[in-house]
Structure 1
């Protein structure tokens, strides 16, 4: 990774963890931590554009409460949804988090 890529990734991780809507933080923050280092510059562009949207909209798109606009129905959105599903499926029974 280059210094520019590292700095960009640090900013992106911060933005993902500090959305202001806790439910979105708990999906986007861990996603950025886990997948961010392996994303291409083009994929980082897509994620940065997604993070410019409203927290509640992003969350609703991820969990399927609202249809995702075509512009945001991307490989990154699919990766986030899969990540959320796998994280949720791996929680021990009775873990309400």
Structure 2
């Protein structure tokens, strides 16, 4: 794994709260190997989001606001909710 991917994976697994580390880190660990540069840039933008907001969105406690919604974040939310047995819609 190249240095950029290692750095992103580290950031994903060390966000500050254990629960978010598991959710974000799990998604990133599964997908980072197949991501191109644009995907990595999108992922870095998601990792810049505040931890409490990201946790709430991933767990379905709050809907992702339109200004934060991206295809990558939607995929991450869907992934996290599928792991919890939550269906969207």
TM range (shorter): 0.7 to 0.9
Instruction: State the secondary structure of the residue aligned to 1:67.
Output: coil
Per-residue displacement from partner, 1:11-50 (whole Å, max 9, x unpaired)?
A: 0000000011111111011111101111121111111111
> Which residue is 2:75 aligned to?
79
Q: Any stretches of 5+ residues in structure 2 without a counterpart? A: none
RMSD: 1.6
- Between Structure 1 and Structure 2, how many residues are aligned? 85
> Which residue is 1:58 aligned to?
54
> Which residue is 2:27 aligned to?
31
> Which residue is 1:41 aligned to?
37
| TM-superposed deviation, 1:70 | 2.3
Structure 1 segments of 4+ aligned residues over 3 angstroms from their partners:
none
Which of 1 and 2 has greater Rg?
A: 1
| TM-superposed deviation, 1:59 | 0.8
Instruction: State the secondary structure of the residue aligned to 1:19.
Output: coil
Q: Structure 2: how far apart are the matches of 1:7 and 1:58?
A: 25
Instruction: State the secondary structure of the residue aligned to 1:13.
Output: helix
The 1:25/1:12 distance shift into structure 2, 3 A limit, reads same
Q: Any stretches of 5+ residues in structure 1 without a counterpart? A: 90-97
| TM-superposed deviation, 1:71 | 3.3
